[in-house]
Amino acid sequence: MPEIASRAHLTAIGPVVQRALTEAELSPGEVDAVAVTSAPGLVGALLVGVSYAKGLAFATGKPVVPVHHMEGHLFAASLEHRDAIPPFTALLVSGGHTLLLDVEAWGAYRLLGGTRDDAAGEAFDKVGKLMGLPYPGGPHVERLAARGDPTRARFTRPMLRAGSRLGDDDYFDVSFSGLKTAVFYAVRDAPASGLSPADIARGFQDALIHTLVEKTRRAVDAYRRSRVVLGGGVACNSALVDAMRARLSPQDVAVFSPSPRLATDNAAMIARAGLFHLMRGNTAGLALNAFASLPIPGVLAA
């Protein structure tokens, strides 16, 4: 509900900023700059943040630094892992986005692929709803899947066709709408088939994770990277992290994943990305606006 979300942001932002300053033992005038998410997302909620940031920057005489939400996720793992630095392959998986990038350097990104329909987190949420689980569905589906038999419900791995080669238009892309539909029929037919909810959850999660891992492996091989960095709320899924490490460790590829507090949306990753742009003079004036959709900055030719 975008309108309700925006009003909740408006109510919370002042106390949240004040609490952050109090815990850091800083006054507004002691900060170096004000970093803010300006895109992409629900534009009403983004406008609350952008408007507050511009007001705070104007009142304190500090620069305002716009940050792309998904670029923030790229930086999250580096806050905890000193080796989660470019060059690396990045898989950003959240409720609204699924992006596969080659990160040559901070600020220099090749967008290799993304979702053609549902994002990975969105697929988890919709499957959770189909199964009558609470929202958000991801953590509940993961817990249920842990009790499932991996041999009972096997779903087709989407967009992993045999013979796919580098250069094909679907080589790095993903699609989860068909997988979601398959789960719908499995849930509907469960009384006759004897499949338990845990078995269905396990089959769904295995199919989605296998797809993400194989697409990431393709990117690692194509650009010969020795590091993979995960980001976004779905990076909290331990089965995804474990499967990625199991698949890539024989190739001596290190996999870095942020802890849940930094994988989900947070201010620390926006501050880290903001610092990167501040040090390069990438600031904005008071004409800064919010955008519901915007390409990630610094994209190179793939």
- Look up the domain containing 158 and give its range: 81-257
CB 190 within 8 A of CB 201: no
The stretch 262-283 carries a mean pLDDT of 97
Is the per-residue pLDDT at 302 higher than 70? no
pLDDT of res. 253 = 98
Same domain, 33 and 141: no
Q: Note the pLDDT tens digit of each residue in 222-258.
A: 999 999 999 999 999 999 999 999 999 999 999 999 9
| pLDDT tens digits, one per residue of 60-98 | 999 999 999 999 999 999 999 999 999 999 999 998 889
Burial pattern 26-61, b for ≥16 Cβ within 10 A else e, equals eeeeebebbbbbbbbbbbbbbbbbbbbbbebbeeee
**Which residues, at least 6 apart from 208, have a Cβ–Cβ distance to it below 8 Å?**
120, 123, 124, 176, 179
Instruction: Please give the tally of structural domains in the chain.
Output: 2
CATH code at position 282: 3.30.420.40
- Based on the fold, state whether residues 113 and 24 are members of the same structural domain: no
Q: Can you say whether residue 301 is alpha, beta or left, with left for phi > 0 and alpha for psi between -120 and 50 degrees?
A: beta
Residue 274: pLDDT over 70: yes
* 3-26 pLDDT, tens digit each: 999 999 999 999 999 999 999 999
Note whether 148 and 87 are same-domain residues: yes
Same domain, 92 and 230: yes
Cite the DSSP H helix spans in 146-257. 177-188, 190-193, 197-223, 238-248
Pair (152, 190) in one structural domain: yes
In a domain, 76, yes or no: no
Query: Do residue 173 and residue 271 come from a single domain?
Result: no
